[in-house]
Structure 1
Amino acid sequence: MIPLGRRGRCALAIAGAAGLAAVTASAVAVRGLHGVPGLAVDADWARLVAEHRAPGVVLPSEVLAALGGAPGSLVVAAAMTAALWWRRGRRTALGFAVAAALDEVLITALKLLDQRPGPSGALFEDRGSFPSGHTGYAAVVAVVLALTARRPATRVAALALIPVMAVSRTVVDAHWLTDTIAGAACGAAVAALTVAVLAPPAATAHPRMPE
């Protein structure tokens, strides 16, 4: 994992804490919504997606759905943990594993809190639709990669996974748009907090003593 100075660590921790606070407040607000979807932006986005839904869009979305949920997500997590251990060391691999686990626990708790029906009108295994677990997991993967990758192109490609997964969840009618936005915020916040805690300290330059 990349070394972090005090400022970088504090910035990540503050951003992560703010993100989690915002998502939690949103889950409480969603619980009080009347009707489905309850938000105009969700209804407008659902209509837009329905108008442009095509096999070339649905098939990749179904693949992402399989990779983002069990057992596919477990395979992805194991592969990424092994790859990070090999390329970036044990500390980075541990950070990813911890972030992924915390994200799953938090999103499950928020789903139980809000109990929001999804586009199908049903709850997901007696849990709410808000936030999107798939998008949250994608955000954990993306942010950990972006914070540990050395090449800018790798960082951009990693972060692009978040909107791709978010849109795919609406394409298959699994979530409302705001579900995916909250999921992305939750996953990114958890990843940022985890990196802030587990990243090694940056080497400090000591002034040279006069001879």
Structure 2
Amino acid sequence: MTRSALVWWGVAALVVAAVLGAVTSDAFGIDGTAVDVWWNGLMGQVRDPFVVDVAYVLNAVGGGWIATFAIPILIAVALVIARRWRAALFALLAFLVSAGLVQVLKHLFGRVRPEEMLVISDYGSFPSGHTANAATIAAVAVLLFPRVWMVILGVLWVLAMAFSRTLLSVHWMTDTIGGALVGIAASLLLGALLLPWAQSHGTISRARRGEDTT
């Protein structure tokens, strides 16, 4: 994907997320919650104990100190071990930008969460920080390692996280859509700035090293 394409798609994703947040928070005087209420009611009817237990696991993995510190650090360490320190820095910056955008939108819109939440969460329902984090992981992985199987795994991971958030009634469905868009936007816009640099290994070639020793 070209730099201009990364910019356009990144800006488009962020704009759509912002508009969705404004509509669902009633900033425009538009009732944007009908689909959310329907989906939330549906989730209340499909809470199989095993599926709920999986959702609890995703709740722990996708938020708190695990998502904020442990997962980004583990990803960065893995990339450094693979001698991709530039990619590691790119990934860490993507997580930082994504988390920052999530907090800005949460405080900008201040959307109220569903009343029947099964877990305790922080202020602001829109966008879903868990889903944004999952989308950031997926988008960074696809940008650094553009493979079809990576895209499939990334999509499945984001969908699983989004589904778990609504199953636990901690988010409305549109919150998870907004979160996915924010995570993608952060990764694409940062990629427009740093991706060619991040994809290079940042090492001196053997030929260059040979020249330097002669």
TM bracket (short chain): 0.7 to 0.9
2 CA distance for matches of 1:50 and 1:34? 29
2 CA distance for matches of 1:86 and 1:150? 20
**Counterpart in 2 of 1:185?**
181
Gaps of 5+ in 1: 1-6, 204-211
**Counterpart in 1 of 2:209?**
none
**Counterpart in 1 of 2:53?**
59
Q: Aligned-pair RMSD on alpha carbons?
A: 2.5
Aligned residue among 68, 93, 98 for 1:98: 93
1 CA distance for matches of 2:12 and 2:58? 28
Work out whether residues 116 and 169 of structure 2, in 8 Å CA contact, stay in contact via their aligned partners in 1.
Answer: no
**Counterpart in 2 of 1:9?**
3
Give 1:31 shift.
Answer: 2.8
**Counterpart in 2 of 1:75?**
70
| TM-score, normalisation: structure 2 | 0.83
Give 1:185 shift.
Answer: 0.5
**Counterpart in 1 of 2:110?**
115
Using the aligned pairs only, state the percent identity.
35
**Counterpart in 1 of 2:157?**
161
Give 1:33 shift.
Answer: 6.0
Secondary structure of 1:199 counterpart: helix
Q: Residues 33, 52 of structure 1: CA spacing in aligned structure 2 closer, same or farther, 3 A cutoff?
A: farther
Q: Aligned pairs, how many?
A: 195
Counterpart code for 1:107: V
Secondary structure of 2:44 counterpart: helix
Work out whether residues 104 and 133 of structure 1, in 8 Å CA contact, stay in contact via their aligned partners in 2.
Answer: yes
Work out whether residues 147 and 155 of structure 1, in 8 Å CA contact, stay in contact via their aligned partners in 2.
Answer: no
Secondary structure of 1:51 counterpart: coil
Report Cα offsets for 1:57-98 as digits up to 9, x if no partner: 111111111111111112111111111223361111111111
Work out whether residues 20 and 174 of structure 2, in 8 Å CA contact, stay in contact via their aligned partners in 1.
Answer: no
Counterpart code for 1:117: V
| TM-score, normalisation: structure 1 | 0.84
**Counterpart in 2 of 1:39?**
33
Secondary structure of 1:71 counterpart: helix
Gaps of 5+ in 2: 201-214
Alignment of 1:140-159 (within 5 A): 140-149=136-145, 151-159=147-155
Q: Does 1:199 align with 2:210?
A: no
Give 1:40 shift.
Answer: 1.2
Work out whether residues 135 and 183 of structure 1, in 8 Å CA contact, stay in contact via their aligned partners in 2.
Answer: yes
Secondary structure of 1:52 counterpart: coil
Q: Where has structure 1 moved over 3 Å in runs of 4 or more? A: 121-125
Report Cα offsets for 1:29-59 as digits up to 9, x if no partner: 3332699x95111111112111111111111
Q: Residues 27, 38 of structure 1: CA spacing in aligned structure 2 closer, same or farther, 3 A cutoff?
A: closer
1 CA distance for matches of 2:168 and 2:141? 26
Q: Residues 38, 154 of structure 1: CA spacing in aligned structure 2 closer, same or farther, 3 A cutoff?
A: closer
Secondary structure of 1:32 counterpart: coil
Q: Does 1:172 align with 2:168?
A: yes
Give 1:154 shift.
Answer: 2.8
1 CA distance for matches of 2:82 and 2:188? 20
